[in-house]
């Protein structure tokens, strides 16, 4: 009959006690770190909840209620919900026209801004005397107050005393002054072909491109500086032309940055309000959806319809951004 020493059976129990204490200590430290993390981010969470989440939920609730400025006190969580606001939005030709104008304004403004930023970045790529000053001056349209620059443009484009019309009638042979900000459309003849130009819409698109191209210029300049100089030098030695060097060397390096810029600028331009409102007030065929929402809210006092249009605008923008992220963002990451 064999016997097992008592010390051998008690050894595993004694060895497991320190391990259990270590595990408990690590668990308590992890919980303490979680509590500290929640404590640190709680101010940000509260700010986001109060300033973003609650207003969004409140806007969605208002969009399903027949609320005007006179009966605003009846609005609430337990109000009378209806879809009449959305039915009016989708059946209104004014909203569809404003949506088309918004898309044209956003796509054209974004494309022109990135194009101007790319041209400026390439022009200022090589060092020369005074380049720092020129680069700093290029940022003026983007950093200047919006009220100041819109006032300057309104004065320059004035049909009575604006400098643009003065130069046009004096040096360019214009027969009459052009009311750039108050004329809906104008017939223009070029090479014997007559076509209609939306004057005011083209003007606000040009303003948007001029004001926002410095943003694209900063991003593209930073990316150009990261391109290895050896690639360009090797292409020069091989006899590549400037167009070939841009197409096969610089452009592939810039495409991811251009894609990010396109998404950011499109979102901001799609939601733009102050530029158009200060220039034209939404008149002469420049009423984008953001200006239309403001007019419904302030001029008509129709809070429910304004909220419904804002929700539709946000939903359309979310769908467009989602399509980009699903079909294009992954391809850019792979490339």
Q: What is the pLDDT of residues 197-209, one digit of tens each?
A: 889 999 999 999 9
Q: Picking from 81-95, 155-169, 206-220, 251-265, which range would have the lowest pLDDT averaged per residue? A: 81-95
pLDDT at 93 over 90: no
Tell whether 244 is covered by a domain: yes
Q: How many CB atoms sit inside 10 A of residue 148's CB?
A: 9
Question: What's the domain range around 126?
Answer: 92-334
Q: Give the count of domains, the chain.
A: 1
Say what the pLDDT of residue 328 is.
62
pLDDT at 1 over 50: no
Task: Give the helix ranges, DSSP H, for the chain.
Answer: 6-48, 54-63, 84-91, 93-123, 131-138, 140-143, 146-156, 163-171, 199-225, 229-237, 242-245, 251-270, 274-279, 289-294, 303-324, 330-334
Residue 113: band (very low, low, confident or very high) from pLDDT cuts 50, 70, 90: very high
Mean pLDDT of the chain: 84
Helix (H, G, I), strand (E, B) or coil at 126: coil
Residue pLDDT, tens place only, 209-241? 999 999 999 999 988 888 887 887 888 888 888
Q: Tell me what the mean pLDDT of segment 244-261 comes to.
A: 87
The CATH number of the domain holding residue 133 is 1.10.3720.10
Q: How far apart are CA 325 and CA 192, in angstroms?
A: 44
Tell whether 21 is covered by a domain: no
Tell whether 286 is covered by a domain: yes
Question: Could you give the maximum distance between any two Cα atoms of the chain, in Å?
Answer: 124
Say what the pLDDT of residue 296 is.
86
Tell whether 53 is covered by a domain: no
Q: Pick the residue with more confidence: 112 or 324? A: 112
Tell whether 144 is covered by a domain: yes
CB 245 within 8 A of CB 232: yes
Residue 185: band (very low, low, confident or very high) from pLDDT cuts 50, 70, 90: confident
Give percent above pLDDT 70 in the chain.
89
Q: Pick the residue with more confidence: 111 or 127? A: 111
Say what the pLDDT of residue 6 is.
52
Residue 195's beta-bridge partner residues? 188
Residue 189's beta-bridge partner residues? 194
Tell whether 78 is covered by a domain: no
Say what the pLDDT of residue 14 is.
54
For the entire predicted model, the pTM comes to 0.81
Tell whether 201 is covered by a domain: yes
Q: Tell me what the mean pLDDT of segment 67-75 comes to.
A: 74
pLDDT at 298 over 70: yes
Tell whether 217 is covered by a domain: yes
* Contacts of residue 52, Cβ cutoff 8 Å, sequence gap at least 6: none
């Amino acid at each position: 009959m064999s016997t097992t020493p008592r010390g051998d059976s008690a050894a595993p129990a004694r060895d497991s006690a320190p391990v259990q204490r270590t595990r408990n200590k690590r668990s308590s430290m992890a919980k303490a770190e979680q509590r500290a993390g929640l404590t640190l981010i709680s101010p940000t969470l509260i700010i986001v909840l109060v300033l973003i989440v609650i207003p969004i939920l409140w806007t969605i609730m208002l969009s399903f209620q027949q609320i005007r400025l006179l009966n605003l006190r009846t609005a609430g969580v337990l109000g009378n919900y209806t879809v009449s606001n959305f039915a009016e939005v989708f059946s209104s030709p004014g909203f569809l026209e404003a949506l088309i104008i918004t898309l044209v304004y956003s796509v054209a403004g974004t494309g022109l801004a990135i194009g101007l930023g790319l041209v400026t970045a390439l022009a200022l790529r090589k060092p020369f005397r005074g380049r720092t000053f020129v680069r700093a001056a290029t940022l003026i349209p983007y950093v200047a107050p919006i009220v100041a620059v819109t006032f300057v443009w309104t004065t320059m484009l004035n049909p009575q005393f604006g400098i643009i019309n003065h130069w046009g009638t004096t040096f360019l042979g214009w027969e009459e002054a052009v009311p750039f900000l108050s004329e809906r459309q104008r017939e223009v003849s070029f090479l014997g072909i007559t076509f209609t130009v939306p004057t005011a819409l083209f003007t606000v698109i040009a303003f948007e491109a001029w004001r926002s191209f410095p943003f694209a210029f900063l991003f593209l300049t930073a990316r150009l500086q990261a391109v290895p100089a050896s690639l360009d030098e090797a292409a020069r030695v091989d006899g590549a032309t400037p167009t070939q060097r841009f197409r096969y060397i610089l452009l592939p390096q810039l495409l991811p940055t251009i894609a990010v810029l396109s998404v950011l600028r499109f979102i901001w331009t799609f939601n733009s309000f102050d530029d158009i409102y200060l220039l034209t007030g939404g008149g002469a065929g420049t009423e984008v959806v953001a200006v239309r929402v403001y007019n419904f809210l302030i001029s008509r006092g129709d809070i429910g319809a304004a909220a419904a249009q804002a929700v539709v605008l946000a939903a359309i923008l979310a769908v467009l951004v989602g399509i980009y992220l699903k079909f294009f963002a992954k391809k850019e990451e792979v490339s």
